[in-house]
Amino acid sequence: MAGKYLLASILCLVLGNALGQQQQSVMEGTYNVTQVCTMVKTGTQLGSILSCSIYYVCTRSGPVMQTCSSGYAYNFRTQNCALASEVECYYGMSNPCAGVVGSAWVPNVKNCQGWYYCNGNQIGGHGVCDKGERFESASQRCIYGDCGQPDSNSDEPGLVNYCSVVPPNMYFGSTSDCQTWYYCNAQGLQTQGECASSAFIASSASCGYDTAPGACDRVVNAPVPTTCSTLNKIEPDPTTCGNYYVCNGEVYVLNSCPYGTYWDLPSQSCVYRKLAAPTLGCNRCQYATTPFVNAVDKTCDTYYYCQNGNHGAVSTCPTGFYFNEADQACAPNSGLSNYSPYNGACYNAGTPSGPPSPSGSTSGSSGDSSTSSGSSPPTSNA
């Protein structure tokens, strides 16, 4: 029996330590590797835009960096390390024309509009595309399109085409909505489309209906980080419970909690979803395993329906009832004080905040609940 208690204690300690660790997003310039990993199948390998010898393996908990052996470079198209002389890569190179045979145009990785003209191994010239255009290395020409980064003259490289790091002949999802998909052809050109009446499921790289947890957790709809001056100041993401921003002294940088955890306001750390008290209004359908979930609400009487990681309109339990996510039903408030400590969405719910309103008072809500246009859970008699 003592052995069982010891094992349980060790497991709790390990789990607690794992959940307490904040996972900072892996960034390469403006390329958010962590975010791109949510768009592709687990196990997919992504290229780097900082070094030709680095690549990332996308795991369920985020990207894991790997390095090729000396003299080798990573070929994101074939998903393996090969002799550097046989790999077309321009990142981290002092001479972008090194290894070029004949004449060719290659990108300036520090400026998405920039290009170099190579005459064999020698730089024969350089320039930039016209305003409103960017250089496309796959077609070796300037094409219409935005650079997709705040400052095209930045010293940091920026990812302007997913097909620069995602392997070809592969469908992958978008972080802006659940229906959009992208595709990279063999030449490295990127196309996109939408699933007609269903979600794009990254785990199967296809359109379909999938109510499994995490089907559309890649959709963050995160606002553009604003400027800041207080180093390491943290702000929660207002829409995605599992994200938060950290100030680097100039702007807020997006970070993501480990899989299955949310940013917890009281502890200012990443906490297991059920226990976390996230910011008001963020989407608790992220990592949910039940169709109905509590909305973040100190009264604990609001809830919504989840489908593919998105939620419907907020509904409210009748007066005197709270929503019990475990039971998937509205329950009498007599059990709220026992429920709220174990469900962070209802943080401090059930704690008296003042004297009750007298009979006939117009304060507070009364009458029947307002329900969403979709499905609604039953009311519990317990």
The answer to whether the CB of 168 falls within 8 A of the CB of 185 is: yes
For residue 208, pLDDT over 70 is answered with yes
CA atoms within 13 A on the CB side of 247: 12
CA atoms within 13 A on the CB side of 353: 6
* Structure confidence at residue 326 as a pLDDT band (50, 70, 90): very high
Q: Give 50-64 pLDDT, tens digit per residue.
A: 899 999 999 887 899
CA end-to-end span of the chain: 35
Q: Is the pTM of this model over 0.75?
A: no
Mean pLDDT check: name the lowest of 200-204, 338-342, 348-352: 348-352
Q: Token pair for residue 276?
A: 């976390």
Q: Give 129-188 pLDDT, tens digit per residue.
A: 888 787 887 788 888 766 644 333 445 566 767 888 999 998 999 887 778 899 988 877
Amino acid at position 133, single letter: E
For residue 43, pLDDT over 90 is answered with yes
- What mean pLDDT is predicted for residues 231-249? 88
Residue 202: name the closest of 56, 60, 25 by CA.
60
Q: How many Å apart are CA 157 and CA 98, to the nearest integer? A: 19
Q: What's residue 57's pLDDT? A: 96
Mean pLDDT score across all residues of the chain: 78
Residue 315: name the closest of 374, 274, 265 by CA.
374
- What mean pLDDT is predicted for residues 229-254? 87
